[in-house]
Amino acid sequence: MPYKLLFVCLGNICRSPAAENIMNHLIEQAGLSDKIVCDSAGTSSYHTGDPPDRRMTAAAASKLGIKLRGCARQFTKADFEEFDLILAMDRENFANICYLDPTGSYQHKVRLMCDFCTRHSLKEVPDPYYGGVEGFNQVLDLLMDACEGLLGYVLNEITYPSH
């Protein structure tokens, strides 16, 4: 069974699809596509079915040479069962995810994306939606850092399962 990661932001058109695609890029480079699987979702349904934001798509292409694939969907309770780790982009996303788990049964699966950063000290991935190009580039820097740290974490989990 592959290890399954779910990246979650508000609308699933900027931060979480960027994280999903960056992570997939790192997974492919490491030759681990059969071991780790990624998806993304939003806590809201505003953009369901939409492709990633064109500004984020342009920034990912120019800065990282990564093409953003996928279309937005809303996070559901079923995702708790389906995924090994659920990565929230900010504290609000984290709270909205946990709200759907009133008993706290899946709390151990939910983490903040920035927990995996090694070079940046920001604790949340800021939403670039209402900002300029530099906001999208900052998000990509943060996500690359977090995804590299996350890949190390997941490799350790796969190699030395704790359960």
From 15, 90, 145, 147, the catalytic residue: 15
Is 101 considered catalytic here? no
Is 115 considered catalytic here? no
From 39, 90, 127, 145, the catalytic residue: 127
From 9, 14, 114, 147, the catalytic residue: 9
What residues contact residue 137 under an 8 Å CB cut-off, 6+ apart?
59, 63
Q: Residue 87 half-sphere exposure, CB side, CA atoms within 13 Å? A: 30
CA 72 to chain centroid: 13
CA atoms of 128 and 136, how far apart (whole Å): 6
Q: Max Cα separation, the chain?
A: 44
Is 39 considered catalytic here? no
Known catalytic residues are: 9, 15, 127
